[in-house]
Structures are given as structure tokens and as C-alpha cells.
Chain A
Amino acid sequence: MQIFPFIVVAWILAVGLYGIVTSRHLVHLIICLAVVQSSTYVLLLGVGYKAGAAAPFFSDIPRSTPAVDPVVQALALTDVVVEAAVSALLLALAVQAHKRFGTLDPEDLRQLQG
């Protein structure tokens, strides 16, 4: 099936967004954001895949071996680093939100804000 990996991308994106919209806990919400972002990894690696090709590492295979796109793999690496940074920062904000309001439920947070 030629478009199956891209359907997986859509599915991961959709369940992640659903989790964010219906979340009742900030840590859960941040994990859902990580799920949304992981859909982009699948998309990037799926776009660069070439049927029957090797990974773009030529230390132990002949130089002329067909290999998949290294650019999208480098982009996926960037993506992972940014996600780690964003998650860390958001979790820190969640810690402070819990200290200030005593709850991590987004519904209650909104009511406290007035």
C-alpha cells in the first residue's frame, strides 16, 4: 500500500490533537503534544524513503549503494531536539502552575483565572 505510512501520520496527528483538546491534566497535555510532534518524524522519514535503499551511512557498504534521503533524517533529528526542549520548558511551566493554583486540570486553571 503506497500511502499507508502517510495515513499513519494523519492518525498520529489526529489522536494527539484529540488528546490535547480533551485533556484534563497538563502533563497529559504535554505528552499529547509530543505525540503530535512524533507524527512529523514519520512524515519526514516516509517522504525520504526509497524502496530497497540502504541507510545513508557508507562506512561499511559500497559508496554506490542507493541510499535514502539524508536531509529528512537530519531534519527529524532537529525535530527530536526541539521537541525535547519544548517538553522540558512546558513541564517546568506545569510545575509552576501546580505550585500557584494547586491543580493541573486545564478546566480549573481557566476558572481560577476568571
Chain B
Amino acid sequence: MTPGVRRGVFLAGMAAVLAFFLWGLVGLPGFGHYPGPYGDVLNAIGIRQTHATDIVSAVNFDYRAMDTLGEEFILFAAATGMGVVLRHLREERERSAVDEARDRTDPGTSEAVRVAAITFTGPTVVVGWYIVSHGQVSPGGGFQGGVILATAFAMIYLAGEFLALKRISPVPLADAVEAVGAASFAIIGISALGVGAAFLANVLPLGHMPGEVDSAGTIALISFFVGIEVTAAFVVVASEFLEQTLIVRRH
């Protein structure tokens, strides 16, 4: 099939899809006229039941915690799968990142990038940690904060060399941390069974006041471990890609 024919087939098919889509739109309640009722119910009872003032986190780590467990294992499986896909093939070896051209020297990291990256590493860790630990109170949580924390490792990479990053966070260590984060989520869920509650039920004390950091029981705890898992997963993903830049094929 030539590109021209394929485009024609696609445009015809897409026109039909869009026609059905627009037809379907006519029956929708319209933007801004939310029909409910689940969101309204959760907004009304969520704080009283979970002591979390961030209802999205309450949905993620309590009401829909089972789905989030699956979602976390998707991330876990993807990071692990990357390790399998990007394994060292035969006739590949690793070498330090020197310039391949003989008549040029390795340019190295510029001082401006180095200073900027070092300056922002600390604040990035603080912001990421804040987002992870306050997911039950304000917008945020383990997933969002974990990505920010992983950015701190990217900053370390920018400030130095990939080999320096490998020393601080070797892939096996990041793999282990990732596994601990993912397993802890499941263990929290199973330990609820031990006290006679349902899987992933919020069995911990909910704290005195909704809106305080120590409130919301397992929501805060799960958010913490998800943060660890996401941080490690993104460090693994980034490291796997960076490792590819070191690989030279032997011919």
C-alpha cells in the first residue's frame, strides 16, 4: 500500500468515525452539566470517611486502590520490560562516553549547566518530597511527587557524568527500591485482611483532623510507597536509555 493510498483510506475511515462521534455528542449532557452521581457522592462523604481533603487521592488510594495497585504494576512491568528489551546484545560492549571522532576532544559539561543543575537539585528534592507526603491534604501524591523526585536524579546527571549517576543510583539498587515500593502497596492491602477487613481497606487510624499531614490512614502510607516506586521506576527508565549511549557495537 503506497503512502498516498493509505492516507486516502485513513481519511475516509476517520471521516466516518468523526461522523459517529459527533452524532454521539448530541446525546451527551453538555460541557459543564455533570450528571453525577459518583463524584458528588464522593465529594460529600469522602472527607468524613477517609479524613483526606484531597478527594482525588482518596479515590486513588482508597476507593479505587485496587485499580491503582494494577496501575502501579503496569509501571513496574514497563520498567522491568525495558530492562529486558534494552539488555546488552551479543557483540555489544560498554565504554565510557568519549567522543567517537578522533580529531575532536570530549566537550564536557558546561559550567553554566553544572551550576544550574546543582542549584536546583536540593529544591527539587524538597518539592518532590512535599508533594509525595502531602498527597492526602492538597493536590499531589505519590505519582506526581515521584516524577519530581526522579527529576532530581536527572539533574545529578546533568551536573556531572552518567557514570557519576550510576555510582549514586546503580540500576540494581533502583530496581530493588522499585520492587520494595510496589510490594509495600500490596502488603498494606494484604495486612488489612489480617485485622479482618477487606483487601486494601483503610484500617489505620485516620488522625484527628482532616487536612493534617498525619491524617487519612493508609492513603498517606500508600502514597508514600507509590512515590518511592515511581521515583525508582523513572530512574531505572532514564538509566536504561542513558546506558544505551555508552554501548558501542563491535564490528
Binds A, one of B97-105, B137-145, B188-196, B197-205: B137-145
- What sequence of 0s and 1s flags, for each residue 71-110 of chain A, a beta carbon within 8 Å of any chain B beta carbon? 1111001101110111011011101100100000001000
Q: Tell yes or no: B58 within 8 A of A by CB.
A: yes
B143 and A73 form a contact (CB under 8 A): no
Question: If the complex has contacts A6-B25, A68-B39, are A74 and B85 also in contact, measured as CB distance less than 8 A?
Answer: no
A70 and B74 form a contact (CB under 8 A): no
A59 and B58 form a contact (CB under 8 A): no
* A68 to B139 alpha-carbon distance, docked (Å): 14
Name which residue of chain A comes closest to B76, CB basis: A85
B137 and A2 form a contact (CB under 8 A): no
Tally of contacts, chain A with chain B, CB under 8 A:
153
Which residues of A lie under 8 Å from residue B78 when comparing CB positions? 85-86, 88-89
B31 and A17 form a contact (CB under 8 A): no
Q: Tell yes or no: A31 within 8 A of B by CB.
A: no
B241 and A67 form a contact (CB under 8 A): no
* A86 to B137 alpha-carbon distance, docked (Å): 30
B59 and A96 form a contact (CB under 8 A): no
* A84 to B244 alpha-carbon distance, docked (Å): 19
B75 and A71 form a contact (CB under 8 A): no
* A85 to B18 alpha-carbon distance, docked (Å): 28
Interface size class of B (residues with CB under 8 A): 35 or more
Q: Tell yes or no: B3 within 8 A of A by CB.
A: yes
Which residues of B lie under 8 Å from residue A71 when comparing CB positions? 38-39, 42, 59, 64
B237 and A49 form a contact (CB under 8 A): no
Q: Could you say which of B3, B30, B33 contacts A22, with CB atoms under 8 Å apart?
A: B3
A81 and B56 form a contact (CB under 8 A): no
Which residues of B lie under 8 Å from residue A89 when comparing CB positions? 78, 81-82, 85
A46 and B43 form a contact (CB under 8 A): no
Q: Could you say which of A49, A67, A74, A78 contacts B32, with CB atoms under 8 Å apart?
A: A49
Which residues of A lie under 8 Å from residue B89 when comparing CB positions? 99
Question: If the complex has contacts A70-B43, A71-B38, A89-B81, are A2 and B7 also in contact, measured as CB distance less than 8 A?
Answer: no
Q: Could you say which of B10, B39, B234 contacts A70, with CB atoms under 8 Å apart?
A: B39
Min Cβ gap A76→B in Å is 9
A59 and B211 form a contact (CB under 8 A): yes
Extra contacts besides A4-B31, A7-B22, A78-B67 (13): CB < 8 Å: A3-B25, A5-B31, A17-B10, A49-B32, A51-B33, A56-B39, A56-B43, A59-B54, A74-B56, A74-B59, A74-B60, A92-B86, A93-B85
For the complex of A and B, the 5 pairs showing the least CB-CB separation, nearest first, are: A69-B39, A51-B32, A85-B78, A2-B30, A70-B55
